[in-house]
Chains A and B, each alone.
Chain A
Amino acid sequence: MVGPGERGEPAGVLMATAPRASGSPQAAGASTSAVEPAAPARPVARGGLAGLAGAGLVILVVALLVAAFADFIAPRGYDDQDLAFALQPPAWAGGTWANPLGTDPLGRDVLSRVIYGARTSLLLALGSVLLAAAVGVTLGLVSGWAGGRVDAVVMSAVEAQLSLPYLLFAIAFMALLGSSITNLVIVLVLRSWVVYAQLVRVSVLSMKTREFVTVAVALGARGSRILFRHIAPNVIAPALVVSSFQLAELIIVESSLGFLGLGVQPPTPSWGSMLSQGREYLGSAWWLVTFPGLAIIVTVLGANLFGDALRDALDPRLRNRSRGARGARGRFRRTLKEIS
């Protein structure tokens, strides 16, 4: 949260907290009241903040390009084995430039596997975020607009899910139903749709009473038209911010599941499954866990930085909270917003 007194905030100090929200019953209950009205927007670029957003964006774009063009970038295939060259250290630590980041126990090139791993990890995370956004935004729009029974059903689904510790649930799901790509995507989408649904629903509730909606109603516009023509565009900005954070979150979830052996199955490399394999050689081959881990960290950092800056730029509401709401509930709501 960036408090009202944050003007002169030095570069590099991002107040907003990155998302790590996992469920709790409070989350759903606290979002039932409307968002505070938007404060007047400040100029978008604030020097350092814009710089960090740029850095985050560059990281993300590079990671996506690497994922997209893995076939051209990677020096070797991800499953090209050469047992004669097993467990070679990185080039600067006694290895050769043939395998700049060393090789794994099967003699596969670690650099190539990190590059192909980007494809698996990013594609899964990105695809799941988009799918979750589609589901969550739609349900949030409908739920907020329709109210009544529809709203009650959607919100109890949200609350039910938030009452489970997510990662444990994901582990049980993957362990019992098998680690297929489909199941992985289902689990990842389940993590994120809730965030979108809550956010969008609250925005719709707050917009329902605004003049532009009242006018549209008075002019005789149909409900669906108002919802999709007038209200939906207004939730795009916050949804974009959430997407950036969710991308970071899902990369971590995917790698956690991969680490437990519940993610993408070999020989397809994902950053998480590479860490899981590297773990057995922790004492002897440090490069096996170091590089996939760094890939995760850099990408997640990029997504978080971008999300942080995007939020500050696009959504002054979340940055510039009114001094008015002093009650404990107002505080709860703001805190919740921060971590979602």
Chain B
Amino acid sequence: MARLILRRLLRAVAALLVVTAVVFTLLHVSGDPAYILLTPEATAEDRATFRSQYGLDRPLWVQYTRYLGRLTQGDFGQSLSFRIPAASVALERLPATLELTLAAMVLAVLVSIPAAVLAAVRRGTLFDRVLMALTLVGQTVPTFWLGMVMILLLAVRFHLFPASGRGSWLHLVMPATALALWLTALLARVTRSEMIEALEQDYVRTARAKGLAERGIAARHALKNALLPIITVMGLQFGGLLGGAVMTETVFAWPGVGTMIFDAILKKDFPVVLAGVVIVAVGFIIVNLLLDLLYTVLDPRLRRA
């Protein structure tokens, strides 16, 4: 058990190193700061002084370790447009993104699992077929397009919800729904097929033979066993959800990390873009670590592995 946790932790650390290395490489490849930040009139000597001043003449790996060192202190550089540390710009926006992502996740789970369990129990009925057709479409519609159509219909045409911004729970309804759609569709499909398989297992037959109520069997016996793969899928899709959150926020002007990244792209404020990317990536890694650990709690068989 301890070894397993240790291994997961190591993997998370490795993932962090990958994220930072990629970001560092991108920064490095994107251009020589001595040309980007200094005026065109600067002499070659000026540029050389600038490089040595910021350690840009050192070997790459030295620069990378320094960069890592700065990151661990929360130093992502200065925002070019706000003149304050990029990290504080990004962190300020984090709660809004978390709120949206969690709301979407809860919504997706609350809708998809009961619907899919019902579809699995009543396999082949009209309800089942309609649900599966809906999930097929749900996985096809791009999140950001759905968001725009919702604004068009529900905000502009019928004035049901505010079109953008964050505030009351009414503001949350449209972005969360738009973001939740494809996860709902995916979870519904996975849950249904896992349930169908679970319902054919020997323990379900035993439970039926014992005379237990069908409803109890589905909820207590089958669903419990179908849960693990469902959680796996949720974990795998969390990165997609974060990417979707970036798109959704942009559409609804939701003041989260995604909108910030989008605005920063427009202003070419790269330190802020990277701070946003790294912070969200760290969140992704942490969630995956927690999910990994959650499996071992849910499935004792994994503890021995």
Contacts and interface: CB of A to CB of B under 8 A. Distances in A.
B250 A177 contact: no
Given A1-B193, A26-B292, A164-B22, A282 B141 contact: no
A15 interface: yes
Contacts of B280: 165, 168
Contacts of A166: 239-240, 243
Given A165-B242, A331-B228, A335-B233, A17 B190 contact: yes
Interface majority SS (helix, strand, loop, mixed), chain A: helix
B288 A25 contact: yes
B233 A26 contact: no
A244 interface: no
B60 interface: no
A290 B142 CA distance: 12
Interface stretch (B47-55, B77-85, B128-136, B215-223): B128-136
A335 B11 contact: no
Contact of A289 (B133, B148, B244): B148
Interface stretch (A124-132, A232-240, A256-264): A256-264
Contacts of A21: 236-237, 240
B235 interface: yes
Given A252-B142, A282-B152, A282-B156, A172 B23 contact: yes
A153 interface: no
A26 B239 CA distance: 12
Interface stretch (B67-75, B87-95, B103-111, B265-273): B265-273
B301 A255 contact: no
Contacts of B244: 167
Interface in B188-238: 189-190, 192-194, 196-197, 200, 228-229, 232-233, 235-238
Interface in B258-304: 261-262, 265-266, 270, 273-274, 277, 280-281, 284-285, 288, 292, 295, 299, 301-302
Interface string A299-311: 0110011000000
B160 interface: no
Contact of A259 (B27, B238, B247): B247
A283 interface: yes
Interface stretch (B12-20, B38-46, B167-175): B12-20
B176 interface: no
B2 interface: no
Given A10-B124, A22-B243, A164-B18, A301 B149 contact: no
A27 B236 contact: yes
Interface residues of A, number: 72
A20 interface: yes
B152 A18 contact: no
B137 interface: yes
A171 interface: yes
A3 B246 contact: no
Interface residues of B, number: 76
A230 to B, nearest CB: 33
Contacts of B232: 26, 332, 335-336
B182 interface: yes
Given A3-B200, A25-B15, A261 B266 contact: yes
A304 B139 contact: yes
A286 B18 CA distance: 42
A279 B237 CA distance: 27
A252 B140 CA distance: 9
A25 B243 CA distance: 17
B251 interface: yes
A301 B251 CA distance: 23
B234 to A, nearest CB: 10
A85 to B, nearest CB: 23
Contact of A328 (B128, B192, B228): B228
A279 B148 contact: yes
Ranked nearest first, the 9 interchain pairs of A and B with the lowest CB-CB distance are A167-B243, A163-B15, A165-B239, A22-B239, A293-B145, A22-B240, A176-B30, A335-B229, A18-B139
Given A20-B139, A171-B277, 14 more contacts: A15-B132, A17-B186, A17-B189, A20-B240, A22-B239, A25-B288, A160-B14, A164-B281, A177-B26, A256-B142, A293-B148, A296-B145, A297-B140, A334-B229
13 contacts: A22-B243, A23-B236, A163-B18, A165-B239, A166-B243, A172-B22, A172-B273, A175-B273, A282-B151, A289-B145, A296-B145, A297-B140, A301-B140
Interface of B: 11-12, 14-15, 18-19, 22-23, 26-27, 29-30, 124, 128-129, 132-133, 136-137, 139-142, 144-145, 148-149, 151-152, 156, 182, 186, 189-190, 192-194, 196-197, 200, 228-229, 232-233, 235-240, 242-244, 246-247, 250-251, 261-262, 265-266, 270, 273-274, 277, 280-281, 284-285, 288, 292, 295, 299, 301-302, 305
